[in-house]
Amino acid sequence: MGCSMAKKGKKVSKKKVLKIVLISLAAFIVVNLFGAAIGTSTSITHPSRPSYEKQIAYAKEHDLWGNYDSYEKTDYIVSGMDGYGLHCTSVASPETKGTGKYVIITHGHGNNKFGSVKFCDCYIDLGFTCIIYDVRAHGENAKAICSMGGYEAVDLNYLIEDTFSRFGDVEILGLQGESMGTSISLNALKYTNNIDFVIADCGFESLKYMVHDMYNDMYLYPFGTCADIGFKLIYNIDTAEVSAIDALKGKGVPILFVHGADDDWIDVENSVDMNDEARKYAHSELWIVPGADHGESRAVAGVDAYRDRIADFLESAGVIESEVSVVVEAA
């Protein structure tokens, strides 16, 4: 015969197909879990670093710059943990000089010190000299690993000590944080007893809680644990130890927790939980701002309302005297 018969293909059993599918699925899951461990930890420890110019333009475009250009400003560098340099700026006016009132403002992840400018008018109006600075691994600081409140809280403690020695007339020293800046400010309470109040805006109660909550919202429950492992094995960061809520235990520091009602990044429950813990030890209040998303409370409430809420809190906590009591005493 002139034509040859085609060779028949070997039939693959259903059992073998199922085995291949299961192996492929398992490999897919493992790769994705491994990706979560590396990707999440790396994206957090290596934040984006927008330029000063970009952040300034953003603040001006969104009406957050205020009267910053009119204030007296001094740039300086403070040595943080292991001599790491922190770029700082003191912001004052003739009215804040001699008051003895100071506040250190700590920005959020992927930002720089000019992201803190939006708070300056609030405090200047209340007689506070403001200190804004670039957090470790941000702004014009050297390259480093960002731990979302671990190493940075130690840095902040160095800045607190520098503030007392640099200015010499500090009578009241407060901390204002936003998002990661709140984690840093609250974790710094582990290292100092020299803070008179904290304004904790849209913070997370722990790095572990934040990472797990992010994945749980997507029903990817094992991914949070993988991210924990990534932080520990790759960067030697224990996500459970970067814990703002644990830092509150036993601390008699008045704290105002601020959170946007519509925050879809850091759930408002973080501030609710921390307020419940903080009030066991000191005066603590919770202000939920309607219509504000993550990091938008100052913008949505407006500078006047934000300033007045801080003033009311500081008076209620006994940090500053109320204007009414001052008038009565003067009379």
The predicted pLDDT at position 80 comes to: 98
Per-residue pLDDT of the chain (331 residues; tens, 9 = 90+): 444 444 555 666 666 556 565 565 555 555 555 656 677 889 999 999 999 999 999 999 999 999 999 999 999 999 999 999 999 999 999 999 999 999 999 999 999 999 999 999 999 999 999 999 999 999 999 999 999 999 999 999 999 999 999 999 999 999 999 999 999 999 999 999 999 999 999 999 999 999 999 888 877 777 788 889 889 989 999 999 999 999 999 999 999 999 999 999 999 999 999 999 999 999 999 999 999 999 999 999 999 999 999 999 999 999 998 754 443 344 4
The predicted pLDDT at position 11 comes to: 64
C-alpha to C-alpha distance for 239 and 20, rounded to whole angstroms:
37
C-alpha to C-alpha distance for 150 and 186, rounded to whole angstroms:
10
C-alpha to C-alpha distance for 154 and 317, rounded to whole angstroms:
26
Q: Which long-range contacts (CB under 8 A, 24 or more apart) does 161-167 make?
A: 161/192, 162/78, 163/102, 163/104, 163/131, 164/194, 166/76, 167/90, 167/102, 167/129
Sequence length of the chain is 331
Q: Cα torsion at 228, 212, 279, 125 (round to 10°)?
A: 90
C-alpha to C-alpha distance for 38 and 48, rounded to whole angstroms:
17
C-alpha to C-alpha distance for 237 and 257, rounded to whole angstroms:
26
One-letter amino acid for residue 198 of the chain: V
The predicted pLDDT at position 254 comes to: 98
Q: Cα torsion at 237, 249, 176, 231 (round to 10°)?
A: 10
The predicted pLDDT at position 331 comes to: 40
Question: What number of other Cβ atoms are within 10 A of residue 115's Cβ?
Answer: 28
Listing DSSP states for 32-99 in one string gives: HHHHHHHHHHHHHHS-----HHHHHHHHHHTT--TTGGGSEEEEEEEE-GGG-EEEEEEEE-TTTTTS
The predicted pLDDT at position 215 comes to: 82
In the numeric block, which tokens belong to residue 75?
């740039």
Angle at 137 (CA atoms; ends 246, 50), nearest 5 degrees? 120
Q: Cα torsion at 90, 254, 284, 89 (round to 10°)?
A: 10
In the numeric block, which tokens belong to residue 77?
């560098």
Domains and CATH numbers, the chain: 15-45+208-240 (no CATH), 50-206+242-330 (3.40.50.1820)
The predicted pLDDT at position 227 comes to: 86
The number of CA neighbours under 13 Å toward the Cβ of 81 is 18
